[in-house]
Amino acid sequence: MKLLIRNVHAVDRGLDEVTDILIEDGRIARMGAQLSEPMGEQDRTIDGSGLTAMPGLFDMHVHFRDPGQTHKEDILTGCRAALAGGVTGVLCMPNTKPPADSPEVLRYILEKAKNTGVSVYPAACITKGMQGEALTDLAKLKASGAACFSDDGRPVKNAELMRRALEKAKELGIPVASHCEDLDIIDGGIMHKGSVSAALGVKGMDRASEDSITAREIVLAASVGGRVHICHVSTKGSVEIIRAAKALGIQVTCETAPHYFMLTHEKLRSGNANDRMNPPLREESDRAAIEAAVLDGTIDCIVTDHAPHTPEEKANFTLAPNGIVGLETSLSAALTALYHTGKADLQKIVELMSIRPREILGIAPEQLCTGAPADLILVDTGQKWVVDPEKFRSKSRNTAFRGMELTGRVQMTITGGRIRYEYGNVM
């Protein structure tokens, strides 16, 4: 089957032009103005006027809850949510039940994801059972398909264990991603420690928890000449530490999520647990620092930390687990906050959400060029829509963007030359 996309605005690294794109046999066969191509009955021509083509996005921080908590999400529904958000590749965090600390769990994830249309890469645990007491067999886990090592969901409390993990990961040529949190400082806190937590009478999480472990991980990585990836950066202090480390040539990369540069702890005054995640929404000074770091390149990529929970779990503000879903809103949120405000162009969005995450993981980037695999998305960057969680393809509805108007929406997601998602169509 052939797909011919006509008159589309194509954006990629080094590419920003209106063109036609011919897709055949799972690849981009040709690109150019006014392509003339005989089309058969089973082929399809798509009018791309007013749409933007981008390489498929990559979210290097998602929780699909599979195995073990599939009432919240599973690999199949997680991938459907990803496709609806223009995400064609994901890195799944290992805090499943059982944790992804064995070749058997990694094989399960890879096998279940095979026919989803999404490239699913598992992260494997740093420590056995994510208990922070002994390293996993990192070499065996890499051989079994691990693309990254992390105990995300929990920090590795023992600094020497983390140092040894960074050292071994350097030998294996694979990144370590760190959940930067000091549990002793957190001490049961459920949101950012500040004026809002005080007003609500709940225990808060001090910024020092994140900042101190961010600094520790960077020192440990530098000590072994290795590299570390800092997960879900949310504080101005962590931004300053990472920026200084990069200036010194230390191999540190990092990520943030749209909610950290769009929302603050003020949103929690309503007492809705769907606004609670870890790290938490912080203050305006943090939000502004995160946005600035995204724009100046200190922060390498935008992710979601997609963390599904059931409505029952999220019903009680103080007892609910942390986490929000984000795969179906991430591109729209980034376009709303960065592109439509004139702060970033579309090429910058592609760098943050498609190219850099793959580069960090050593995965070949998706590209809009002749001969490349046909893994791309079509976006109406000007479409306004109101986030209705009841229409999500994810099993879960716990979004902090509920009811918000966003501008920009994915119209079509193509992987392997096949239309996997089309706005308005049930697929």
Active site residues: 305
Residues 329, 303: Cα–Cα separation, whole Å:
11
8 A C-beta contact, residue 256 and residue 330: no
**Neighbour count for residue 424 (Cβ, 10 Å):** 5
Instruction: Find the helix or strand (DSSP H, E) in which 413 lies.
Output: strand 405-415
Residues 331, 421: Cα–Cα separation, whole Å:
15
Residues 333, 163: Cα–Cα separation, whole Å:
36
Residues 344, 350: Cα–Cα separation, whole Å:
10
Instruction: Find the helix or strand (DSSP H, E) in which 211 lies.
Output: helix 207-224
Residues 86, 412: Cα–Cα separation, whole Å:
8
**In this structure, are strands 15-24 and 2-12 parallel, antiparallel, or unpaired?**
antiparallel
Where would I find the H helices in 43-158? 75-84, 103-112, 138-143
